[in-house]
Structure 1
Amino acid sequence: MIVTLTAHPALDRTIDLGAALQVGEVQSALGAREDAGGKGINASRVVHAAGVATRAVLPLAPEDPFAAVLRASDVPVLPVAVTGHVRANIAITSPSGQTTKINLPGTVPTAAEIAALVEAVVGAAEHARWLVLAGSLPPGTADDFYVEVIRAVRARWGAAAPRIAVDTSGAALRAVVATGTPDLIKPNDDELAELVGEDFDDAADLSGAVLAAARRLVPAHAGAALVTLGAAGAVLVTAEGAWSAVPPPIRARSTVGAGDSSLAGYLLADSAGHGPAECLRHAIRCGAAAASLPGTQAPAPTDLPSGDVPVRTLTP
């Protein structure tokens, strides 16, 4: 079982343009779609499509129209009743694969709603192999909310607690690596650069620069780091070693949710007992598959690219 928490879900509206986005101009769209989004939900969709048990925990008002879209995804969910409605995110894609995103703000949850969400996650984590805490936090939520969840889960289940993966950014990620000691973090290269106060833009060897930065966190502050690099692939850093991999050639259609799919792919391979190199390879395949699909679609095993994913061992 892989349990996910999406504290700040979103209705993902994707608009597909036939030409590059022209700012300030009127353009016609080729089409549009709506998906139930949010990093944890996206990860659960990939896990569910692979035939592995999952449960997505999220705040959701009973009358929220988002519920109908979520039901269509067929993902097992544990909704926690709140009063505010889910926000919307807008993604505009062009034929080149470039994606422009506009994320709208969500509603501010009450203290009682936050407490109920934490309690729901703690309960859902029983017997789980992994717990994924993913995405931004709702407005007004403390930066250390994920730390609170980690502590509550470990206090309740002790040695039987699931391993915990965190995929967030900014102040929430800083709080997690400062005091949360997660088993895995999944930043992209920009998020990692912000976290450690470095700039990778001029790095002659991006994988090497990412490895050096991640080594400042692993294993002292996190058990491992899966750092996604977009079209350049990903780097995995653990206490025992480090590896990099690049994706096979694909035609990118929408990068929204690709990182979430990469994380899900890694956890699926880890749950199946594979070693770090194969976990990284499967993460790359799932991320590439998601980027090749329109909107925020979750790739199924049949969507994974068949091309080679070479994995290289990195040395400090």
Structure 2
Amino acid sequence: MSMTPEQAAWYAETFEKLVANVGQAVLGKSHVVRLALTCMLTEGHLLLEDAPGTGKTSLARAIASTVQGTHNRIQFTPDLLPSDVTGVTIYDQSTHRFEFHKGPIFSSIVLADEINRASPKTQSALLEVMEEARVTVDGVTHDAPRPFMVIATQNPIEQAGTYRLPEAQLDRFLMKTSIGYPDHASTVQILAGASERDRSGHLPALITTSAVADMIRLATTTHVDGAVLEYVSRLAEETRTAPETRLGVSVRGSLALVRTAKVWAAVHGRHYVLPDDVKELVGPVWTHRLMLDPEAEFAGTTSDGVLARILGDVAAPQERRTVA
């Protein structure tokens, strides 16, 4: 059953309240907050490539506080082990049994700080839980909570001693964006409250995690016309045949765009997806999925530029179309 207009209106109203609440801790960044919450409601993960001190930890804490969820921060370092992320099985001499001690990954919102500083083996420990929301240790499967979102950060400035994320792991992230520095007015407001070290610690919880799970399920019923699906498919095909790219958008990437567009339409009070929803989300959802040709990259070509050109070349649908 498809979402009704009344449900879409409720969805948008609830979403705006969540954005406003998180915005009390992350000042002047409503668009980034919207993308992060949309990512959570799509059951995806967010990659933030940003300089230190821009509010990445505050964003994760504020979202967790708003949805009555738990929050954990993992500082990725070269000596971090996979078990430090997922947890470990320990033998309890008093009960004569092995007990699983959950790692920090078992939280609603997990901040993986400077993820590219950990070894590839530790990075890969996140693959299963990010894709399937569960962890297998010693043959036993443990489910992650719901909602569950990993907010990973990378420092684009300092590359010494880092391990580049492989394409397979980049593809696991639903979106990639940056918070950036606040504008002048927001900076002044932040400085005025300098005595308060953590704004996110005092945020009221507006919604329960079970209600968030209901919103996640409701968003999947947003209607997507066949013409919009064909539009997404044509865009993805263009990324694969573009002369500037070595690797285009995968089927997983196309599915990610459609799922995100469903949530994006609902948060704008619509029970159906428009081509404009796709256009707005192509950048955050697809930029990190493109692998550019080395010569094109050396010449100054960017993933954003390639996607902008493709959006200009591929005409958006003007009429509805049914898919068999």
TM-score (structure 2 length as normaliser): 0.32
TM-score normalised to the size of structure 1? 0.33
Which structure has more relative contact order (CA 8 Å, sep 6+)? It is: 2
Larger radius of gyration: 2
